[in-house]
């Protein structure tokens, strides 16, 4: 544990689901932190200047990036694990090896099987592609709901880093539905969402109706642009 473990900054932006994971974990653990608002490139104005430390320490120029003291790390899941090591605060990762293994397995699963189709829903342009992503996301959420059936949580008996990784899906669910996610949420997944809304970290990441509208508006505009480009190319 380092002496400067209370000096934490998150470089992120509310619309980025990967940054939401980290923001949730910091709030849930009660870690005081600065937020350096760094919008993804699609959201930045033309005059936006990237901070030097971001260019230096985020190898793919991606948010989220976190600074603890003088050290930096980018990439949400490694960052979540690093913060558990570096910052003294209530843990979201158990010290028990078997429990940790389950949390890690589930974080990786969510990243692959739920995040991928979630992103494909809003970046989808053609109705068929959106419908296919919607079905895949519904299947993933049903599976994740089954994980919660015993304890209420995704991996173990308490909220963990698996909740942090999944949280952006709850945060943007209304937006996803407006952008073509038509899956029926299982009672288990819906109940998990309700439970997450009671967590200390929720208010730090929840979207206002205006944020949901901005998210939806951005991706509707993206679709219109793609369709008109495709139409003029054909």
Ligand X SMILES: N[C@@H](CCC(=O)N[C@@H](CS)C(=O)NCC(=O)O)C(=O)O
Instruction: Report the interface residues with ligand X, using CB under 6 A.
Output: 16, 18, 40-41, 61-64, 75-77
Based on CB atoms, which residue is closest to ligand X, 13 or 188? 13
Q: How far is the CB of 79 from ligand X (least distance, A)?
A: 7
Contact criterion met (CB below 8 Å) for 198 and 155? no
CA distances from 161 to 80, 92, 106, 124, 221 (A): 7, 5, 9, 28, 33
Minimum CB distance to ligand X smaller for 64 or for 159 = 64
Minimum distance from residue 10 beta carbon to ligand X (Å): 12
Q: SS3 of 87, please? A: coil
**Judged by CB, which is closer to ligand X: 41, or 151?**
41
Say which residues have a Cβ less than 8 Å from residue 112's Cβ, sequence separation at least 6: none
Contact 144, 114 (CB under 8 A): yes
| CB neighbour list of residue 67: distance below 8 Å, 6 or more residues apart | 7, 8, 9, 11, 53, 57
Q: Which is nearer to ligand X, 108 or 149 (CB)?
A: 108
Taking the least distance from each CB to ligand X, the nearer of 23 and 62 is 62
CB atoms within 10 A of CB 221: 10
Helix intervals (H) in 111-208: 116-123, 127-147, 161-171, 173-178, 187-196
In the complex, what is the shortest distance from the CB of residue 16 to ligand X, in angstroms, rounded to a whole number? Answer: 3
Least separation in angstroms between residue 232's CB and ligand X is 26
Shortest Cβ 61–ligand X spacing (Å)? 6
All residues at 6 or more sequence positions from 147 whose CB lies less than 8 Å from its CB, including other chains: 106, 154, 155
Pick between residue 78 and residue 152 the one whose CB is nearest to ligand X.
78
Q: How far is the CB of 18 from ligand X (least distance, A)?
A: 4
């Amino acid at each position: 544990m380092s002496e400067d473990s209370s000096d934490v900054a998150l470089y992120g932006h509310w619309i980025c689901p990967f940054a939401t994971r980290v923001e949730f974990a910091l709030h849930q653990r009660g870690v005081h932190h600065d937020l350096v608002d760094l919008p993804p490139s699609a959201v930045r104005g033309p005059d936006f200047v990237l901070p030097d430390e971001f260019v230096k320490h985020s190898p793919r120029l991606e948010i989220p990036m976190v600074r603890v003291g003088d050290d930096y790390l980018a990439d949400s899941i490694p960052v979540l694990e690093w913060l558990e090591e570096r910052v003294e605060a209530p843990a979201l990762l158990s010290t028990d090896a078997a429990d940790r293994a389950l949390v890690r397995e589930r974080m990786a699963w969510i990243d692959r099987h739920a995040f991928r189709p979630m992103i494909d829903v809003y970046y989808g342009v053609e109705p068929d592609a959106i419908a296919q992503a919607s079905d895949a996301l519904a299947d993933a959420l049903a599976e994740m709901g089954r994980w919660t059936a015993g304890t209420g949580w995704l991996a173990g008996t308490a909220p963990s880093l698996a909740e942090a990784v999944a949280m952006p899906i709850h945060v943007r669910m209304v937006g996803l539905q407006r952008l073509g996610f038509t899956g029926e949420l299982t009672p288990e997944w819906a109940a998990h969402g309700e439970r997450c809304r009671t967590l200390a970290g929720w208010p730090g990441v929840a979207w206002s109706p205006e944020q949901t509208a901005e998210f939806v508006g951005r991706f509707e505009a993206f679709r219109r642009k793609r369709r008109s480009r495709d139409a003029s190319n054909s």
